[in-house]
Amino acid sequence: MKIIRLYENSSPLIWAEDIAKSDWRAGQYLAELISDNRLRELCGETTEVLLLVDDDRLVSFCTLAEQDEITDTELKPWIGFVYTFPEYRGKRCIGKLIDYACNLASSQGYDTIYVSTDQKGLYESFGFEYTGAEKMSIYGEMSMIYKRSTKKEEA
């Protein structure tokens, strides 16, 4: 398996079609934003779509963006649109993307990355800690804010 950055790929629309095949409405929305060339306008010009692929098959995807569903501009960057196709779940595939996103954010000068979620217990297993804060999402729902350091732990 390897990680591809969508905007460094010559076929972003083909990958958008694969993202649209997810059984998750947000995945289909992400595919629409990519196809309509609106993702970076909405989430920030440095937004990356990270794809974990097995040969030419999409396994998992997420974004690393300045803006996500929480409009707090003090916190950034955000991991969002986190999804793994059902046949690959339970194999920690998204962990590979999260680690990659963490390293990418670090190389961009960020000490911390954030995720907004209503899923308790999911992101802790990938090194995130609950900040104790809940904020209103753009969808009018409260969402928990988690954070993770981008610094590599010393052995």
Q: Per-residue pLDDT tens for 34-75?
A: 999 999 999 999 999 999 999 989 999 999 999 999 887 789
Backbone angles phi, psi at 107, to 5 degrees: -65, -20
Rounded Cα distance, 122 and 107, in Å: 25
Residue 71's pLDDT is 80
Name the average pLDDT for the chain. Answer: 93
Residue 83's pLDDT is 97
Which residues does 127 contact at the CB level (< 8 Å), separation at least 6?
98, 102, 148, 149
With 80 as the cut, is the pLDDT of residue 154 above it? no
Tell the residue number behind the tokens 């046949």, with chain if given: 87
Residues of the chain with pLDDT > 70, as a percent, come to 97
Which has the higher per-residue pLDDT, 136 or 3?
3
- Going by pLDDT thresholds of 50, 70 and 90, the confidence category of residue 153 is low
Which residues does 20 contact at the CB level (< 8 Å), separation at least 6?
27, 28, 31, 32
| DSSP codes of every residue in the chain | -EEEEGGGSS-HHHHHHHHHTSSSHHHHHHHHHHHTT-HHHHH-TT-EEEEEEETTEEEEEEEEES--SB--TTS--EEEEEEE-GGGTTS-HHHHHHHHHHHHHHHTT-SEEEEEES-TTTGGGGT-EEEEEEEEBTTS-EEEEEEEE-SPPP-
Task: Please give the single-letter amino acid code of residue 83.
Answer: Y
Q: Find the mean pLDDT for residues 126-140.
A: 91
pLDDT digits (tens, 9 = 90+) for 66-102: 999 988 778 999 999 999 999 999 999 999 999 999 9
With 60 as the cut, is the pLDDT of residue 33 above it? yes
**The architecture CATH gives domain 2-149:** 3-Layer(aba) Sandwich (3.40)
- Going by pLDDT thresholds of 50, 70 and 90, the confidence category of residue 139 is confident
